[in-house]
Structure 1
């Protein structure tokens, strides 16, 4: 009876509890307004999930995607993760803001930007430009350094838009700047710069840690380096002429892109790329070669009256190889003067950045003129050093000048006899040529003897033409009225611009042109007096007369914007040559003695070498064939 009672009580209890629950559910059911709010929240969740699914496709980031400097709530973090993936962490750090870190050495003042981790400004502390403004190689966004890579979650990222965390430490006397793009406290991409106190070269390493599962190894990882070369010199057109891309490839070969409006090239096994700005240079060097490099140079000076800020725009794309899914590339940066002595001291073939000329021309500059000028300028003012070097060069070349003048004197003495031969055999060109060669052979003279000494001087002439525009030591060194021997001198400013000449008058080119005019009057006068007129040939005398006036005018226009040091050299060189030739003519060479010597040589039996014999035989055979044809 009691057991039944217990069961009945239990059933009643369950019924009461169920009734209470039903009542509570009824009294707590949402109102129509609350139901509407729930439906709206559900719809927003569906939309958010749909948007997230769409972002699973490849996303290319832009600078605006990284502008979040403080993630305040989970919704912002979700949005950031959707866009940046693993690299969203870098934008949550205190360093995720556009700030710069300044580091100074004895030679450089460098700013490193949190955004992109690259150098945002470089000032060379020991130099100023033509307006006395400090030399900046990088300033106000003229340079860009970026690594473009894909991620394992199908994103394309650019480091130039991401925020790096900077730290500065010391390694002995060196300053180490570490810029880390973090995925987590222990996972990051690092740019490591090590600056030495008294050096323009810094160590630079790109390495990653713990990113093998973040970076997509099946896609190219490319390093992009762009720079617009800032104008530093008084003449932007002259500076632009020596501004170019120089690179080393395939184990020591070097090349350059040239001066066209747009040039590009592709090279393999590249060990360095230099953006040369005439007297200042930016160079990226690698310990191990880049497999390929795509290089580009664009001329920015269309009109030197309007385009006054930049000379050329350079761009380079270099692939970075992954090792075990990680980046580890040891490199160097050089930011400094294009000084041959400094660049050559690194023993990394950087002297090729300075355009000293190819082949024998470069050899003469490296082993003769650079050491000679360095020695002279060590104890003499730079202008005087140029004059002394010019005197020494002309003295060394004076035997060549002497031989050339003697040859012209011999030809002058023989001119009447050659004219006689021309008249005698005017109807027989073959015989005339044969007799003329016989006369030259007996007299010991040759029309080519005067040309060969002149050709021997060409390597020296061209080597010096390359030397003076590349001589960094001449930069901002004054002499007489020239304020800067590496740029043009100005004695008058014109109120207008003359094509190919400029808006100024330079005195050194005028003096050099006058010296060339008098020198050419002397030499061409001698040549016209010694050179017989050949029938059927152009009138060389008339052509030489034109050259007497054309060459100085060309010199005047061409050198008006060139370095005054180069014009000073040509002025002094031609002045000395004129003096040497006057001494040779008036005190060394006696035309009567030359004539007597020639007559004596003509009496002696002249031995012919194998070539002369062969030529004589060929001419005799040709003459005989002509006679046979006439008989028929």
Structure 2
């Protein structure tokens, strides 16, 4: 692979990185929309509640007034027009009921009869902290709570009907006309109850019309939970709301709600923040997620009708940073058919709350693995990341199952991929080396036919054919390397398995391997070793690769590309730099071998004047210089 093709490849990768960076830039600070509730620091998950029916004062159910005429349940109004969704206030008299298995601890609240939060036991909240990460710990609504219906929302007190080690049942009556039964079943760690996965909860809500009036067709909104930036190293690319329509996924980022943007400086677009954004149906599943964790709700029967997305201002900084934490919340719209008196309507579905593990999500029924967003961006799609990234993820997990260390798994996976592509890379390297040796004859052709482009092209192609050189051969490594790099970048950015996994001096493979910081007055410069090693291998690799004939401007670009690429990747996950460094070291060794193998091949140089002209034999045919090195022997 010559320097020209190498630089083209690096330019493509730099462009891809730029797309990721500017496509999901951090939001500027915004004034708080409300006073956030006081939240204590993360702590160990509370002990599970007894797996028996709760003994507490009877819940006060809505509907003390006499039953009015009219529809039993009207459609909810539009969301409030405020810029941010309001955070829920802690309720001192809430009755918390817990379902637990080896992987999660699900805490239910009687207010809304829904999931208050979920502690994910296998994933700590911070490095070397025994407390688990808690999804929806600070929230606008409990997960699966009704939203937007006065008298039937997170403030509605449900009665706890029963609680067993595997199931919780709630009941409430809405305006003496609608009985609501909410049932939640958690799968055991090794069973198949409630959807077959230990992170999945089977949910069923039954609405029975106990009035004398038929309720016309309407809809309700169910909360999907609230998600936020995880840490100072979280770039926000994966903090969004996703839905799947049965054909392709749809994503809504925070930037789509904040308004503004570069073009608004020229009067193009709307600079005003949006109170909400709606994703249209059909919705096979919907999700609120961040970099490593997600809640995913999949209706059992008909798809949902849409998703409403809102921003949340947590009013506190991002952990480990002074930047303001702006998150997202969403609700899914579920249609209800008409409910005659004495009849019932049922809402049922599976709720997943857990880590974004591709090998787990890929087993689900409706492509829930699309929350990984391997092929969300155009650059991912043109390089087939949706196909390559899942293969790399499975390969990395398979290797890890044997070696037990994620850093070693990445190294071995890189070496395996390089070994598989070695024949193509060697062929391309030899072709590039031969191309370099043809440069004198190519210059001669350019000078001879500088006024006749057609003849110049014909003579050049004849030269390639005679010397068995494929002018496109040097592109093969680029065509192999770029898809692998882009797919690996897409794969590791949201892979929960790498979170807080250490390797050598790197404490977290999903974050930069910062070993120190240099104070620079208004900021500090992190010292990240692996990106520097990656840049060094790229510089050395370019010195070893054959140089095409280029002008001074191109030569300067060649020299700058490794440094530009190092700067772009400097604060990305160090797993990416580890992959690139091992890849570069392997390529350097390979290039050294190729250079030695091709150093004794015949060199094409212009022949002495005479015969067919400069560098030509009789008939104008090119002459190969096959004079052996060293003194001639007779």
Using structure 2 for the length normalisation, give the TM-score.
0.69
**Residues 1:514 and 1:85: Cα distance change in structure 2 (over 3 Å):** same
**1:566 has 2:576 as partner:** yes
> For the Cα contact (< 8 Å) 1:212–1:324, is it kept in 2?
no
How far did 1:386 drift? 1.7
Mapped to 1, the partners of 2:372 and 2:63 lie a distance apart of 54
**1:580 has 2:576 as partner:** no
**Residues 1:245 and 1:184: Cα distance change in structure 2 (over 3 Å):** closer
- Look up the match of 1:462: 486
The DSSP-based 3-state class of the residue aligned with 2:417 is: helix
**1:103 has 2:125 as partner:** no
Q: Deviations over 1:457-476 (max 9, x none)?
A: 32222222222224332222
How far did 1:582 drift? 0.5
The DSSP-based 3-state class of the residue aligned with 1:143 is: coil
**Residues 1:332 and 1:450: Cα distance change in structure 2 (over 3 Å):** same
- Structure 2 gap segments, 5+ residues each: 1-56, 73-90, 190-197, 259-276, 608-615, 620-634
**1:128 has 2:124 as partner:** yes
How far did 1:483 drift? 1.0
**Residues 1:179 and 1:216: Cα distance change in structure 2 (over 3 Å):** same
- Look up the match of 1:20: none
- Look up the match of 2:137: 139
**1:253 has 2:248 as partner:** yes
> For the Cα contact (< 8 Å) 1:230–1:310, is it kept in 2?
yes
How far did 1:166 drift? 1.1
Higher helix share: 1
- Look up the match of 2:356: 338
Larger radius of gyration between Structure 1 and Structure 2:
1
**1:287 has 2:291 as partner:** no
The within-5 A match list for 1:471-486 is: 471-486=495-510
- Look up the match of 1:624: none
Q: Deviations over 1:366-397 (max 9, x none)?
A: 33552354234423422222222211221222
How far did 1:259 drift? 6.4
The DSSP-based 3-state class of the residue aligned with 2:167 is: strand
Mapped to 2, the partners of 1:116 and 1:129 lie a distance apart of 27
How far did 1:146 drift? 4.3
What's the C-alpha RMSD, in Å, of the aligned pairs? 3.8
Using structure 1 for the length normalisation, give the TM-score.
0.69
Q: Deviations over 1:90-142 (max 9, x none)?
A: xxxxxx99412221312222322222222222212232122524211022434
How far did 1:593 drift? 3.4
Which of 447-456 and 509-518 deviates more? 447-456
**Residues 1:211 and 1:108: Cα distance change in structure 2 (over 3 Å):** farther
Q: Deviations over 1:403-451 (max 9, x none)?
A: 2222222222221111112222223333323322332233322432212
Q: How many pairs were matched up?
A: 494
**1:166 has 2:160 as partner:** yes
- Structure 1 gap segments, 5+ residues each: 1-68, 88-95, 151-155, 534-538, 606-632
Q: Deviations over 1:562-586 (max 9, x none)?
A: 2222111111110111111001111
> For the Cα contact (< 8 Å) 2:180–2:208, is it kept in 1?
yes
> For the Cα contact (< 8 Å) 1:98–1:113, is it kept in 2?
no
**1:545 has 2:541 as partner:** no
Mapped to 2, the partners of 1:169 and 1:271 lie a distance apart of 30
How far did 1:313 drift? 0.8
Mapped to 2, the partners of 1:394 and 1:402 lie a distance apart of 11
**1:370 has 2:364 as partner:** no
The DSSP-based 3-state class of the residue aligned with 2:301 is: strand
- Look up the match of 2:447: 423
How far did 1:252 drift? 4.5
